[in-house]
Amino acid sequence: MSSNPCFFPLAAAGATAFALVAAIFVPYNYTLAADQSFGEPTQAHPNAVDIKPKLPDIKSAKAVLDQSDEYAALESVQFALTEVADGANYVWHRGHGQLSGLVAPLASFKDTHGSVCRYAVVMLTAVHATKRTEIVACRLPTGIWQIES
């Protein structure tokens, strides 16, 4: 091994830093993909073909939700009714990104049987559809919230 220091890593780091700084500060007109300015007339190239790429239609994608998504939504409502104060919001998202929701408990009260009940708004969003529902849920002696309406 040689005891002489190698300047290659230093030169590579310097070249990379220069390239990044140059890419950031190069004037817009000198970049390769720059649009022509609006004042100049544009001419079509004779070999240019106006081809637009075909992109997938995201809005037509259907949400594929299964029973585990339904259980997750119900568990989120149960959690929010138990843990979230009146006037606060509980927002949750499924890992696959196709389902999310918001539970907003608005008021708590006791029914004629003495059970604690809560009035809440539940919003579920699946891909491009959102559904808003107002619920009244009362807590059973087992601690489970039963949705009354």
Rounded to whole angstroms, the Cα distance separating 27 from 89 reads 47
Per-residue model confidence as pLDDT tens digits over 100-149: 999 999 999 999 999 999 999 999 998 888 999 999 999 999 999 999 87
pTM value?
0.56
Q: What is the pLDDT of residue 34?
A: 46
**Do the domain assignments include residue 81?**
yes
Owning domain of residue 82: 67-147
**27 inside domain:** no
CATH of the domain at 126: 3.10.600
Question: Looking at the domain assignment, is residue 31 inside a domain?
Answer: no
Give residues with Cβ within 8 angstroms of 11, minimum separation 6. Answer: none
Residue at 137 is within a domain: yes
Instruction: Please state the domain count of the chain.
Output: 1
